[in-house]
Amino acid sequence: MEGERQWISGVVEGFYGRPWTTEQRKDLFQKLKKWGMDSYLYAPKDDYKHRAYWRELYTVEETENLTSLITAAKEQGIVFYYALSPGQDMTYSSQKELQILKRKLEQVSQFGCEAFALLFDDIEPELSKLDKEMFQTFANAQVSVTNEIFTTLNNPKFLFCPTQYCSSRAVPSVVESEYLNTIGTKLHADIDIMWTGDKVISKTLTIESIQEISDVIRRPPVIWDNLHANDYDQKRVFLGPYSGRSPEIIPLLKGVLTNPNCEFHANTIAICSLAAWSKCKSETKINTEVKLETETEDGLPQEPIPSIVSENIYHPKIALKNAIKEWLTEFCIPKEAFGPISKPQPPVTMVMPILPIIPSVNTCMSLTTTTTSCSFTGNPKPSPAVPEFNTSQLQAFADVCSTVNSSSTNPVMNSLVSATKIILDDNIPNTIASIATSNIEIPKKIPISTMAVPVMKIGSTQLIQDESLDNNLDMTENSKENEPLMNVEDDELRELNDKGSLKFDDIVKTNNEHEISDENIEAMECGSSIASQTSPNNMVKTLSEDIIMSDNAKNEIVMQIEMSDEEVQELNLESDFKSVNEDDLLLFCDLFYLPFQHGNQALKVLNDFFWLKNNANVLVSRNKNDSSVKIEIQEWMQRSQKFDEYCHSVYILGKKISTCANKELCYDLFSYIWDIATALTVLNAFVKWLALGCFPENINSYTQGSFTWFSKGWKESFQSGDQEPWVFRGGLVSDLQRLMPVDGGNDLFVYKFPDSPTVEYYLMRPYNHMDEEEVYNVYQKTNQDTNILPENFKELLFDLNICPFLTLNPELAIVMHNTCNIIIGYACAVVDCKIFNRNKEICWIPNMCEKYPLEKCESSLPVFVKTTVNGFHNFKYECPPCVYSTYPSILSLGILKDDLIMNSSLAKQILTVLLAALRSNGSFGVHICLDDRQCGEMDFYLKLGFNEIFRDTENSTIYLGRQY
């Protein structure tokens, strides 16, 4: 090649998961030109003919689309690199294979492509028996093939991704790696080599590390940067600025390509800030972790920016602010959403050891009996000691994550033909057959969702159990075609639907939590259920010839949601909460920042909740005439109010995103904001319950858990970058959930996403006596037996099952309401069932005997009515010792059917808050007692994590219990 090659700056579409669409890629080319970048590498891991079927030539339709992409890139001055990943199953010594590879790339060359890449990442570093006869080493085989292809294509711009693509993959080290040294000495000097840094996802890139790899490969590397890649964790999207790389390394590099988030519209920050970084010569020496005197409360430098840093000095926060301005315009552009849109979470995942170092919540609770008072006018005194974090175990866990063998199979799509589906025919074999070893019966041809695996490294696969799917409470009316909606006969079901009521006996049965198939997985689809967000003339395309690339294999249509001009105008004219602004996006970015760092506002919410929980014990002393105590309580209340306001701002952000004009962007982002809003809903409800002060002074003995953000060593390890970030799965959402005092509550935080973006949020708060009528209405609607009660006995079952909780222990009752402040659900409990029943006998039963005298029990009344009334007059309750010893508490909950259909996670949310309240009172186990004929209600509680603990055959009762 003549002259010095240009600096490479741009984007590599190289993640695992749903590839971007043709139109999105063309949109990207325009943005790259606008921001001064010059390169795009086409390498979607799960695209049809890039990896799994690299041997196949493109069809006429595919040719037209690929040619249009290459042409569109040239029009914007963007170098289009076409990449293939043949290393999974290529025989390097086969001339036939080599000719197939040449033919494929020469075909693409005829489309006008002038730049290419061969990627050998994420493959087994072993030669086949035939290859060993011709090549001395694995590196020699790759070099031989790559050099010949390079020569055949007349020495074009060419990129090579080695199998050892980062320091942690180098064997035994970068300097001593025979593989890397062979690549460096024998690969053609004009072929650029890609490198990810010290790790697959590197927190920093240093001058020393770049110099080291440059010496070994005999050329400056092109950085394949996975900083913003999120295909390994369904709970995280990375919206923070490009950081951890000083512009001082630019002279040592050939270029940088970012491999960003799977969601196309989540990448403005990543790409725009990289573009700004590429134009700088140095980085500000200011520690961006510490707020400066010149910064505002949100941590951003005050205007004017030029007075703080020069144009040639990179400051991540300035880059973030500028990128947010660019991103903001996207929300107002009306665009369709092609469904079903789903996050890159698979029905399979890496095999990892079960170690006690990363419980989803507090599975390793440490209880103490000591409490420490706090000073609320200054820094609080130390809270009860938090268990130390075992970093050696974490390192062992990280080592396993980093060394798992790669999988040779992936789901595939054809993004050059369709944005939402894969096309299968009898000539295409099943590419994921090896997953059958994970106890899944795999048919010859199946549609599956994308795989969440480490970027550029897939691990062995196994079934996810309770981590990516919510099989527990799938109340969707249009769920699986061959399964009943509720556990009732067809005639009863029709009757219930006509009445609009749902008893717990009627709640849906779902597959066993540990049996996962494609039918279990619910994709977040575009549907007609959100009429306010759709055009009256939605286009429906039947895909009889295709299989949709989604988690819902039985969906046979793709809905294209597009807002009409009238709806867009209406949106712009409505209240301010529907207009996304820069502050909203800054909040969003802080909530989902970077793999090794939470944003400022995320850290604030973590610290505020932890502070409120740890210092709630002062509320027990609120009746004392002590001025210092009153000041402490006042500060607690003020901080709890601010926490509530913060949560409200997140709810509003979710509403704004769900109603923005750009539905394509909305569907990319909504699941993430819904995740964090739901987590904050639970935490905020617990804070509101704490405000009652209805717990013992030693509450901290019961609510301090191990392995949270505040455990010694946890956040330090998270921020260090010493481990790959998939070790800390879940990001901020999981960090918040771990703070809830619910031991072993992983299943309670597994939620099914709404089928469509929604503005309806459900909030929770403590019950008060004015709520009784609404709670009564909820109970009546959710219990079928109440419909056949005589008029003068309408309240009988409510008086039997719910009213004693609300009357005797109202402090342990939680209500759930919608955005109209209408109560749609309740949960109530008592700490000790023996004390409860003793109080019930003294204070409640006499009133019931007076309200329901025996003489009212006419012979014509239903049997269960007479039995219930007789039960009041002959009250007797004995909890079996085997139940009481471990599960002394008792509870009841109910939620309206229509709201459960809209959001099937509501029962889990309200149960979590109630269990946390019980835990705060020193209870570690709760039970419910059911008639053995209440199959539906029993199934409901079983799917909420309860287990059968005792069966009283004499009285036909079953006890279900749960520990926490």
What are the residue numbers of the active site? 122
Q: If we measure between CA atoms, which residue out of 106, 6, 89, 91 comes closest to residue 52?
A: 89
The set of residues, in sequence order, having a beta carbon less than 8 Å from that of 872 and lying 6+ positions away, is 800, 845, 848, 849, 852
* 465-487 as b/e: b if 16+ CB within 10 A: bbbbbbbbbbbbeebbeeeebbb
C-beta neighbour count of 813 within 10 angstroms: 27
Structure tokens given for 577: 């909460």
**Residues 225 and 204: beta-carbon distance below 8 Å:** no
**Residues 108 and 151: beta-carbon distance below 8 Å:** no
- What is the distance between the alpha carbons of residues 914 and 590, in angstroms, rounded to a whole number? 29
SS3 930: strand
Bridge-based pairing state of the strands 255-258 and 8-13: parallel
Q: If we measure between CA atoms, which residue out of 930, 19, 914, 892 comes closest to residue 414?
A: 19
Structure tokens given for 316: 């991540």
- What is the distance between the alpha carbons of residues 680 and 648, in angstroms, rounded to a whole number? 9
C-beta neighbour count of 176 within 10 angstroms: 11
With 0-12 CB in 10 A as exposed, 13-18 as middle and 19+ as buried, what is 550? buried
Q: If we measure between CA atoms, which residue out of 501, 919, 899, 881 comes closest to residue 739?
A: 919
SS3 282: strand
What are φ and ψ of residue 952, in 5° steps?
A: -95, 95
Structure tokens given for 47: 């695209």
Give the residues across from 11 on adjacent strands: 40, 258
- What is the distance between the alpha carbons of residues 358 and 353, in angstroms, rounded to a whole number? 11
**Residues 463 and 441: beta-carbon distance below 8 Å:** no
Region of residue 299 (left: phi > 0; alpha: psi -120 to 50; beta: else) = left
Q: If we measure between CA atoms, which residue out of 281, 361, 284 comes closest to residue 317?
A: 284
C-beta neighbour count of 18 within 10 angstroms: 26
Structure tokens given for 941: 């509680």
C-beta neighbour count of 190 within 10 angstroms: 13
Distances 153 to 3, 48, 115, 118, 549 between C-alpha atoms, Å:
19, 23, 9, 13, 34
DSSP characters for 465-522? Answer: -SSS---TT---TT--TTS-SSSS-HHHHHHHHHHT---GGGPPP---TT---GGG--
